[in-house]
Amino acid sequence: MKTKTPKYLARPELAQVTGLCPVKIPSPACSASSAFTLIELLTVIAIIGILAAIILPTVGKVRQSARSAQCLSNLRQIGMAVTLYAVDDKDQYPYGYININNADRRWSHQISSYLASRSLTEKKRSNDVFFCQQESVKPNASTATRTNYSANPRVMPQEKADGSTKRVKVTGVLRPSQVIMVADGAVNPGPNNPGVCDWGFYDQTVNSSINLAETAVKDEGDQGNAHLSWRHGGKVQAVFVDGHAKAFAVGELRYKHLVNNY
């Protein structure tokens, strides 16, 4: 119901008689000063763009940090599984690679039953613990390793065809807090074996004449058998024989971290 303004409020002459101030009825038209100008609108858009430019890289870094943290967790679980395997098998670590009746069995297959997730032996299925979220290239179902991680061949060596290779005992690693067990694996670019290299299968040669404490391990950009990946913002992550995990920048990882009897 529409109300009317009393006459004594709308008419000034009545206001003089009543002693009340007249009410000014505003015009229905909007004031020009209350509207957004084009400059103001462009300013708001520019501010939003600046905020987005600041926030998006931060979100990306947070996501990368979360993936790296998950990778370290994966490596710790893998390290624990390898240790449990050794405890159950006369204190011996598994082979990095064995070939039984032409059946590929690598270290990842041998320890999979010690992890809570599903087994790697199931066809076309993979255990999430064996995958690093920071690696964009995933091993396909035909890749024997089905993992983004590589085993240190001096802890888990390849078994030779004649069966002469001895497995490494837990007591054979003299510096468990300094020797890597498993680390981020590099992608194999070869057309015949697409997927992730298994460091426990293809050994990275160590020259006996080099200074093990000072010589840096090859990165994936070097020539030769380089099977580590610095995919975490220029860092490679690894779990050590004693169970702790950490990240190394390029040049920080030394050959002393590979050789178990240094």
| SS3 assignment, position 199 | coil
Check: CB of residue 239 under 8 Å from CB of residue 149: no
- Give the structural domain span for 222: 42-257
**From the CB of residue 257, how many other CB atoms can be counted at a distance below 10 Å?**
20
Do 68 and 245 form a contact (C-beta atoms < 8 A)?
Answer: no
In a domain, 25, yes or no: no
Which pLDDT does position 179 carry in this prediction?
A: 94
The pLDDT score that the predictor gives to residue 66 is 87
Q: Does 152 fall in a domain?
A: yes
Domain tally, the chain: 1
Work out the number of other CB atoms within 10 angstroms of the CB of residue 246.
14
Q: What pTM did the predictor assign?
A: 0.69
Q: Please indicate, yes or no, if residue 20 is contained in any of the structural domains.
A: no
Predicted confidence at residue 88, as pLDDT, reads 95
Predicted pLDDT at 62: 72
What pLDDT score does 171 carry? 92
Question: So what's the pLDDT on residue 189?
Answer: 53
Q: Is 95 domain-assigned?
A: yes
For residue 70, what are the CA distances in angstroms to 67, 77, 132, 228?
Answer: 5, 11, 8, 18
Residue 56 within any structural domain of the chain: yes
What is the pLDDT, as a whole number, of residue 71? Answer: 94
Q: In sequence order, what E strands does the chain have? A: 97-100, 103-106, 149-151, 180-184, 187-188, 195-196, 235-240, 245-249
> Tens-digit pLDDT profile for the chain (262 aa)?
555 555 544 555 545 555 555 555 555 554 555 566 888 888 888 888 888 787 777 666 777 788 889 999 999 999 999 999 999 999 999 988 887 666 667 888 889 889 865 544 444 444 578 888 887 665 555 554 467 888 888 899 888 766 778 899 999 999 999 999 999 987 665 544 434 455 544 455 566 677 778 888 776 655 455 578 888 988 999 999 999 999 999 888 888 888 877 6
3-state secondary structure of 37: coil
Q: Is residue 3 part of a domain?
A: no
- Name which of 143, 99, 95, 101 is nearest 123 in CA terms: 143
In a domain, 174, yes or no: yes
Structure confidence at residue 60 (pLDDT): 67
Residue 76 CA to residue 99 CA, distance in Å, equals 27
Q: What is the pLDDT of residue 80?
A: 96
Q: Per the domain annotation, does 19 fall within a domain?
A: no
For residue 106, the SS3 value is strand
